[in-house]
Structure 1
Amino acid sequence: MMLVSVLAEILEEYTAVLVEVLRQLFHSAPFPRRIRFLILHNLPFVDRPSGVTA
């Protein structure tokens, strides 16, 4: 059981790092603005600005 909790924590940290890398990649990607917004808006674990509601 302890191994499962450790693995879950590691995966959570890995996912957070992966999302940050994807955010940086798509933020400067040569996609149309609307496509970039949709991609960035739908990433999990993303801190949304206070003015944006889901």
Structure 2
Amino acid sequence: MILVAIVAELMEEYTVLLCRLVEHLFHEAPFPRRIRFLILSSLPVASSTAPLLPAPA
């Protein structure tokens, strides 16, 4: 039971890290702004992570 809790916590941290990486990649991707917004807002933990980069001016 303890092992399951440890693996679940590691998977949660991995998911957050992976979402931040994808967010970072798509902030600078050559997609239109609306497409980038749709991709970034569809990330499973998008609302729980702080933005990695500031919004463009």
Q: What TM-score do the two structures reach when normalised by structure 1?
A: 0.81
Deviation track 1:5-52 (CA, whole Å, cap 9, x = no partner) reads 00000000000000000000001100111110000011111237xxxx
Count how many residue pairs are aligned between Structure 1 and Structure 2.
Answer: 48
Distance (whole Å) between structure 2 residues aligned to residue 23 and residue 45 of structure 1: 11
* Ranges in structure 1 where 5+ consecutive residues have no aligned partner: 49-54
Letter in 2 for 1:18: L
Q: What TM-score do the two structures reach when normalised by structure 2?
A: 0.78
Higher relative contact order (CA 8 A, sep 6+): 2
In the alignment, which residue of structure 1 is the partner of 2:34?
A: 34
Q: Sequence identity, in percent?
A: 56
* Ranges in structure 2 where 5+ consecutive residues have no aligned partner: 49-57
Aligned residues: CA RMSD: 1.2
